[in-house]
Amino acid sequence: MFTLSEDQQALVQAARTAALTELAATVKEDDEREHFRKDQFQRLGAAGLCGVPTSEDWGGLGLGYVEYALVIEEIAKVAPSYAVSVAVSGLPQVILAQFGNDEQRARWMPGLAAGELLGAFALSEPGSGSDAASLRTTAVREGENYVLNGTKFWITHGGYADIYVVMARTGGPGPKGVSAFLVPGDTPGLSFGKKEEKMGLRASPTVEMILENATIPASNRIGAEGIGFSVAMSALDSGRITIAATALGIAQSAMDCAGRYAVARKQFDQAIIDFQGVGFMLADMAVRIEQARLLTHKAAWLKDNQLPFSPTAAMAKCAATDCAMAVTTDAVQVLGGYGYTREYPIERLMRDAKVMQIVEGTNQVQRVVIARNLKRGWE
Ligand code: CAA
């Protein structure tokens, strides 16, 4: 747990090389232009990075979430938007692995794991964010089909994805009335509205999704009617580990940039890292990153060992994303005026860090998950 095996080290190196080769050259331009390149995502897939925990039977590497977290951290060090793409395209895979049937897995998993297909996850709506169980999109059974109507919001890969896992209401109000569906990107009645103009993570497209009598075969329902909320929650439990790993990559990248600068930059005849005010900032960054990485790897290890991991994943998500926000903010400070310019990547990393405290459940929702779990232990 505290050291990486030779295989894990080789995987980290492969992920680092792929990220630098495929993504580094266009990160700055794509942030400025808010541009996502599906071909770059597909090349990460060709390098084996889009299905790390997916079984080899379904085209993945068949490794664990510890390895998945390591890979995502490496991608995030170079291009956080693509780390999120790998994580989000992983959600349909983790869902199908646990709740899908063989026919659904055979249809979608190999393409998703190879990165040839892009996946997406559609839970949130304009009026349903943290209170996910209040979603209003409906799925009405008509013969051998379901007809979906509603609007989904904040959809990563909206308009780009080949397959969307959509949560829609088939029953009464609340979580028990929700079901999960596979909605292919070319489904008639599926369209896309506003693309959000965001502060950060700007190479990751975030788009409104509109379902107007979108009709899919009943065989595209994932599991039984009424389990959709549990499908979504359990996918997010896993997803939160990948968001933590993305935040770690952001934080590590910012700290390394600030550290190199603090060694090279001289003021008052000495490197600024030798001023305690700067050196201690870097030391505090290292402490926070190490704490968050240990928690993230523990959550992954618990999942890999089929142990309860939901509250630990929530802790890791909180710790790593709060760490990324604090570290990137201090990293800008270490560089002073230079840190505030686009000459260095730190201002972008700081903008990217902010959304990590929001996606896949705000850090306030993570605290709800943690507190409820604590309460159960004390009751
Ligand atoms: N795993 C499996 N099932 C679960 C579960 C879990 N972790 N948590 C809850 N459930 C199921 C249970 O069956 C539960 O029923 P029981 O009480 O009978 O066991 C049922 O769901 C209802 O659970 P709650 O009463 O806890 O539900 P709640 O309405 O109080 O909500 C919440 C809890 C934690 C606040 C939840 O709504 C939540 O996580 N909200 C945040 C949503 C979120 O993360 N959205 C992000 C969307 S994706 C994104 O950001 C971008 C992207 O592109 C991916």
What separation in Å is there between the alpha carbon of 237 and the centre of ligand 1? 9
Query: Residue 156 CA: which ligand 1 atom is closest?
Result: 53
Q: How far is CA 287 from each of CA 56, 168, 281, rounded to the nearest angstrom?
A: 37, 43, 10
Whose CA is closest to 134, among 157, 150, 156?
A: 150
Backbone φ, ψ for residue 80 (5° rounding) = -55, -35
Task: Give the chain's domains with CATH numbers.
Answer: 6-117 (1.10.540.10), 120-226 (2.40.110.10), 230-378 (1.20.140.10)
What separation in Å is there between the alpha carbon of 369 and the centre of ligand 1? 9
**What is the predicted pLDDT for the residue at 190?**
98
Beta carbons within 8 Å of 62's beta carbon, 6+ residues apart: 53, 54, 55, 56
Whose CA is closest to 150, among 119, 174, 130, 178?
A: 178
Q: Distance between CA atoms of 118 and 89, rounded to whole angstroms? A: 6
Q: Which residues line ligand 1 (CB under 6 A)?
A: 88, 121, 123-124, 130, 132-133, 154, 156, 175, 229-230, 233-234, 236-237, 310, 359-361, 365, 368-369
Residue count of the chain, please give it: 379
What separation in Å is there between the alpha carbon of 372 and the centre of ligand 1? 12
Contact 258, 282 (CB under 8 A): yes
**What is the predicted pLDDT for the residue at 364?**
98
- Ligand 1 probe mutation, 208, 230, 376, most atoms within 8 A of CB: 230
Q: Which residues face 148 on adjacent strands? A: 139, 214
Residue 26, both tokens:
């266009």
The single residue of 32, 103, 360, 379 carrying the catalytic annotation is 360
Half-sphere exposure of 112 (CA within 13 A, CB side): 33
Quote the strand ranges of 69-162, DSSP E. Answer: 119-122, 138-142, 145-156
pTM of the predicted structure, to 2 decimals = 0.98
Q: Distance between CA atoms of 241 and 315, rounded to whole angstroms? A: 9
pLDDT tens track for 112-154: 999 999 999 999 999 999 999 999 999 999 999 999 999 999 9
What separation in Å is there between the alpha carbon of 48 and the centre of ligand 1? 31
Q: What 8-state DSSP symbol labels residue 196?
A: P
pLDDT tens track for 34-57: 999 999 999 999 999 999 999 999
pLDDT tens track for 80-101: 999 999 999 999 999 999 999 9
**What is the predicted pLDDT for the residue at 121?**
98
Confidence class for position 279, pLDDT limits 50, 70, 90: very high
Q: How far is CA 153 from each of CA 57, 124, 183, rounded to the nearest angstrom?
A: 33, 5, 15
Helix (H) and strand (E) counts for the chain? Answer: 11, 10
